[in-house]
Amino acid sequence: MRWEVALALLRQHNRQIDIGSQRMKKPPKNLSPELAQLRSGLIGALPLLGNELASIFGRPIPRFSARDKAGLEKKLDGLLCSTSASLQKLEELKDNPAADLERYAALDQFMASVLRACGRRLRPGEDSWEALLRMAARAAEPPRAKWAQLPPYQRIRSALCGFLVHLYTHAAPAQIFAGLEEWSGSNDARRYLHAVRLLQTACRRFRAEPPKRMTDRRLIELQSEYTLSAGVFETRLRVLLLCAENAEGRARTWAEWKVLNLNNLLAMAGRHKSLDPVVGCIDRQVRNALVHGTPIIDVASGTCRFEDLKATITWTWAEFFERTRGLTLSVLAMVGFEALQQLIHTQVIVQNIRSSRPTEGPVLPNPAV
């Protein structure tokens, strides 16, 4: 997921630098009124975007100088000017069913212009849509860290790809992702981003090998890791179920989704078989026991006992470590859901464009990443 704009903003001592108040260059003359309005809105939104980025990264953003702002405006103008002619051509041809070849040529020109504006120069004869697919695939690549090659991470990543393919073959994207805009603008999304940042920071301190002997300190470390990962897991599962339920025609408002607890979500996930690998990475009783208390160490047997109101779970020390680390790696894979969704979405768009061309047959997308 994925939608990033480079900007900078300094926010210290509760003061905000209003870069939107700086003088804005006049838009290029060849822009349509709609593109000129889009340009003005994007540049005017920089202060708000700066605040959001500062919140996401948890640190003040360096000051956005007048030179930086002018450079961003220049790049934005280059993108809008290079795509203006092809967009105008597409607008002229939209009600002309006999102009399919011209329409596809304008689409190719538009995509080539977008890629050039992003710094991607096409080689002679290179297909712009193939270049777009490669860019989307690179954006969805997993991190280079060693933990991203471990089985729990790879298993959940593969399951999410299959889940997305299942969604796209059963419903239209507008139906699947209805309601996500409401979530992305809510405090729940901000809390999720904050929790992910904490989890990624905590990962640097997580023990790499299972403990040979359980101590109170190691017990607290594993308990902290499990509860932190379980919190992010619940937030991610709620979003995945929103998409799954939408695809089957059972849409709800975000206000209805946010009141569902983990038990409700796991029960609902039971009717979506494509989510079985995701659901299997957490133990609800262990999570409840850790949230409301601490496990009991049995030194003689080398086990930890987790006592919930309705059940008691016993794990060996090594099992406690492996299950905790497996949950953490699974959650880190779930964090990449939006990037995978953008890749699958791009593949579907390219497939639809290619299959509609009179001179070309359909090309099925390759969801493997």
Please enumerate in sequence order all residues whose Cβ is within 8 A of that of 25, keeping only pairs 6 or more positions apart, or say none: 70, 73, 77
Residue 78 CA: distances (Å) to CA of 44, 84, 189: 18, 10, 33
Output the pTM of the full model: 0.78
Q: Helices in 118-215 by DSSP H: which ranges?
A: 128-139, 151-168, 173-176, 180-184, 187-203
150-184 pLDDT, tens per residue? 999 999 999 999 999 999 999 999 999 988 888 88
Query: What residue ranges do the domains of the chain occupy?
Result: 11-100, 152-347
140-152 pLDDT, tens per residue? 999 888 889 999 9
What band does 125 get if pLDDT is binned at 50, 70 and 90? confident
Is residue 64 within 8 A of residue 7, CB to CB? The reply is yes
Ranking 2-11, 184-193, 302-311 by mean pLDDT, the lowest is: 2-11
Whole-angstrom distance, CA of residue 344 vs CA of residue 347: 5
Q: Name the residue type at position 157.
A: R
Q: What value does the mean pLDDT take over residues 14-32?
A: 52
Q: Which two tokens stand for residue 225?
A: 């890791």
Burial of 217 (0-12, 13-18, 19+ CB in 10 A): exposed
Whole-angstrom distance, CA of residue 163 vs CA of residue 69: 41
Q: Name the residue type at position 8.
A: A
Q: What value does the mean pLDDT take over residues 243-255?
A: 94
68-119 pLDDT, tens per residue? 777 777 888 888 888 888 888 888 877 777 777 888 888 888 888 888 877 7
Whole-angstrom distance, CA of residue 256 vs CA of residue 93: 43
The DSSP 8-state label assigned to residue 284 in this structure reads: H
In the predicted model, what is the mean pLDDT of the chain?
82
- DSSP per-residue codes, 313-359: EEEEHHHHHHHHHHHHHHHHHHHTHHHHHHHHHHHHHHHHHHHH-TT
Whole-angstrom distance, CA of residue 310 vs CA of residue 331: 26
271-299 pLDDT, tens per residue? 999 999 999 999 999 999 999 888 998 88
Please enumerate in sequence order all residues whose Cβ is within 8 A of that of 111, keeping only pairs 6 or more positions apart, or say none: 128, 129, 132
